[in-house]
């Protein structure tokens, strides 16, 4: 991690499981990793483009998640002064540093997860 990236505070410093728990709290919510993955894959995106890339997410939930990711310093929100004015979302340096974690999650999922045999099957 470079010095320009501010480290995030955790609530359980000193515990050997704390880094795992803290990271899971940052990215483990339902849509967080999907949004981070789409921004890693596509670069900066406007709200509607990001909503299309994510698929299956409501505008309200996307807005709330983006606000949470911005608060956690993983996503940056920039107002682009074009006509019409639009907002573009991109990963911060801290957000980009999660690329290997998200890539490993994708690879693990591709190797070990399969489509459910019926609609009632779920790991959630």
Domains of the chain: 18-104 (1.10.10.10)
Q: Using pLDDT thresholds of 50, 70 and 90, give the confidence band for residue 101.
A: very high
The model carries a pTM of: 0.80
For the chain, percent of residues with pLDDT exceeding 70:
82
Residue 74 C-beta-side C-alpha neighbours within 13 Å: 22
Long-range contacts (CB closer than 8 Å, 24 or more residues apart) made by 98-102: 98/27, 98/36, 98/40, 98/74, 99/40, 101/23, 101/27, 102/27, 102/33, 102/36, 102/37, 102/40
The pLDDT tens digits for 11-20 are: 676 677 778 8
Is the pLDDT confidence value at 54 over 80? yes
């Amino acid at each position: 991690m470079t010095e320009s990236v501010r480290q995030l505070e955790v609530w359980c410093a000193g515990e050997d499981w704390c880094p795992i728990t803290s990271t899971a709290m940052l990215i483990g919510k339902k849509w967080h990793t999907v949004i981070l993955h789409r921004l890693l894959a596509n670069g900066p995106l406007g709200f509607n483009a990001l909503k299309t890339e994510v698929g299956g997410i409501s505008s309200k939930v996307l807005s709330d998640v983006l606000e949470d990711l911005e608060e956690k310093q993983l996503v940056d929100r920039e107002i682009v002064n074009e006509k019409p004015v639009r907002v573009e979302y991109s990963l911060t340096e801290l957000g980009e540093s999660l690329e290997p974690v998200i890539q490993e999650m994708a690879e693990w999922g591709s190797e070990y997860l399969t489509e459910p045999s019926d609609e009632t099957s779920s790991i959630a």
